[in-house]
Amino acid sequence: MIYEAKNFDHLLGTKGFSDQSLQNHFTLYQGYVANTNKLLEKLSDLVKQEKTSTPEYAEFKRRFGWEFNGMRLHEYYFGSMTKENQSLDSNSELAKKIAQDFGNYENWENDFKATGALRGIGWAILYLDPETGKLFNIWINEHDLGHLAGGIPLLPIDVFEHAFITDYGLNRANYIKAFLNAINWEEVNKRLK
């Protein structure tokens, strides 16, 4: 097991959330953790068995983003909650960033509420663009679109046909081999740090 479910029982008794609702939500979160671990194990087994061209491998790979993001987004969500009655300190760095990017706290709050009220299922999330330091309220439709929430990509490879068809035709495997020989490992190591 790589991931362990975090304990959020300290949130029981939070105003506006019944304990039953929270406990059910914790159970759902624990399922995401368990399924993330199961998928990692199954994927590892298929790689060891050299069964990476199978439909099972493809489905497990596709499902991994859903389970991982379900786990991580719930950790961020529960981690953002408290039973204490708090307000944002107007002198805090976050309050200053909100005022800078949204004009004032009220504008941010209105935008955040509106984002959360959009039709559909998903997430409304205040994001920081670490490149620019800018804040955004973003709608995430469900959470299985392949991104790993909060993740920093270390080594991407474009496997859309446009990346290799001109040079390799339909032979994606040779394209991947060529890519592996062209990696700038110094840059990958910088991303890790």
**pTM to 2 decimals?**
0.78
Q: What is the CATH number of the domain that holds 91?
A: 3.55.40.20
Same domain, 49 and 65: yes
Strands (E), the chain: 122-128, 135-141
Domain that holds residue 115: 87-150
Same domain, 156 and 177: yes
pLDDT in tens, 51-75: 999 999 999 999 998 899 889 888 8
**How many domains does the structure of the chain reveal?**
3
CA–CA separation, 69 vs 79, rounded Å?
15
Same domain, 21 and 48: yes
pLDDT in tens, 75-103: 887 788 778 877 777 887 778 988 999 99
Helix (H, G, I), strand (E, B) or coil at 21: helix
Same domain, 123 and 73: no
